[in-house]
Structure 1
Amino acid sequence: MDTSTRAAKIPSFQQTEINWDNLDKTKLYVVGAGMFSGVTVALYPVSVVKTRMQVASGEAMKRNAMATFKNILKVDGVPGLYRGFVTVITGAVPTRIIFLTALETTKAASLKLVEPFKLSEPVQAAIANGLGGLSASTFSQAVFVPIDVVSQKLMVGGYSGHAKYKGGIDVARNIIKTDGVRGLYRGFGLSVMTYAPSSAVWWASYGSSQRIIWSALDHLNDKGDAPSQLKIAGVQATGGIIAGAVTSFVTTPIDTIKTRLQVMDNQNKPKASEVVKILIAEDGWKGLYRGLGPRFFSSSAWGTSMIVCYEYLKRLCAKVEEV
């Protein structure tokens, strides 16, 4: 049996996937830290715009994403688009290590568990990837939430009546002084409710859509040739866009409520239900979807960039099989 015949019998997704056991973990963490830091630099301003829109009050509520972006540049210049960035990038490395480890180990274990049920490939991928995303997000929240609370306060400092701080340490010191360490975990429950399901939906959507796309392409590939690097990146990017669209629509309301709670002064501690009432009173039900545009763009752009980089990173860090 020649190589082309063997390739024809192996689905494309199996030719492109690299299992956790076949990765050089040290190389993955070191190279990955640099790669994801670069993506964060490029997309961070979108997060700042989204956060500003979610906490806006008065006249600022009428601004769309572009108007909010221009206002930040007018008032604070380019540095205003990177408020809280140092705090975020500092916490990104340990958060990513926890996330990727939990993601891949859970995916591998889940695939073994669902294998006996003889489900279709897209369904198996959705379950395994979804459980992986859920597990990864849940474990990483312990590091991510304090970073998120501090960075959110820096993003909105001096905006719509919010206090202005000198930096991340100043924010953390102020929170601990007035509300104890638990103040750094304000919105923890909502963060888990936002990011864990969000991560599960994103990875489930990505895993299943990628299988469906590969299946369609395999039907068109009569020769059974191995997919090119360009085709692999294209399929992964398309899967990332689909996952971003689904996730942003499902989770934006919870994200808006969470952001409101995290940036409020320590003296004002409304319940999540009260925040919902305020948003609806201010802007109707669409108030729950404030920042949907930037969130969709951020989710799609970040997710697509992240997954293409991550899948490429896995190929770079794959162990060389000895002949």
Structure 2
Amino acid sequence: MAYVPVEVRGVKIPRRMAAGFVIAILLFLVAAVVLSLSVYSLPAGVVAVVVDPVSGQISKPVMGPAVGFKAPWAYMIEDTYAIEVIEFVQKEKAAGRWAFSAPEVLTKDGVTVTVEMVVRYRIVPQRFDELVKKFPQVDYDDKVLVPKARQLIRDVISKVSLDYLIENRDQIAKQIEQQYREAVENDPALAGLVDVLDVNVLNFILPAQVTDAINRKVAAQQDAIRAQFERQRVEELARANYTRTVLAAMAEANATVTRAKAQAAQIALIANATRTAIEMLIKAAGANATEAARLAELYIYLSGLREVAQTGNVQILAISGGAGQAIPVIPITR
């Protein structure tokens, strides 16, 4: 098979047209880059300002959600205007961006106290441009909010003793919260630019040995209270028993006196009745003094026998006659 050479000629593009095509591509790329650098978008809850380094101007705040345009060489400074939280917690818990180690301060008597606190705040978005002028890195929290909290806690705790802190912890917590809020509101760098919404002192953490000593003291106080209560209970029981005994004795004494009076009255009545009966008997018999005495003895003797006979059936026998026959003359039955 024979080889047949074939000649292929390329299409010749004019040099001017090729240069125009390259320029168009470059212009398109430049326009795309310029457009991407000139358009910005902000999500909800974010505020931003446009900073023009050429003119040195800072725009008014723009709050998201929003889409806007800026000079390609200008840049954005953003921050959130939602509620933010700064937490002062123990070192082992301070891991997040907004979690800081809790201040460890000394009381007036030299005891170390760790203060846990939470601060809730938000910026004023309408004045964000003023905040950026003072804090271009938007680090007002690290430069003002956190150091001010540490300093305030140190100033308050250093003026009180441990005992006073324990006894008035709620009052001291409210003092720290109020003074911190006032300090931020009156700070020349943040006044009117940041609103402190809430300050909450969570806990005053004492050293372990101090906590153990307090627990032992509380336990001893509780034991003393229980012992005092038990002593009072025993004393009250003793007083109640004494009162009950005294009342019983008084009641028995009153009853004895009453019985004695009744018996005395009864004896007096019996004596009066006996005397009256004897007088009537003597008068009826017309007895002389000797006979009257004998009649009185006999009457009293028979009355005594009658009382003895009340314990059972008794008969009184009189002995008469020379033969000594026993004749029942006075039957007495119960």
> Could you tell me the TM-score, scaled by structure 1's length?
0.23
Relative to total residues, which structure has the larger helix share, 1 or 2?
Answer: 1
Using CA pairs below 8 Å that are at least 6 residues apart, which structure has the higher relative contact order?
1
Which of these two proteins has the greater Rg computed from alpha carbons? 2
Relative to total residues, which structure has the larger strand share, 1 or 2?
Answer: 2
> Could you tell me the TM-score, scaled by structure 2's length?
0.23
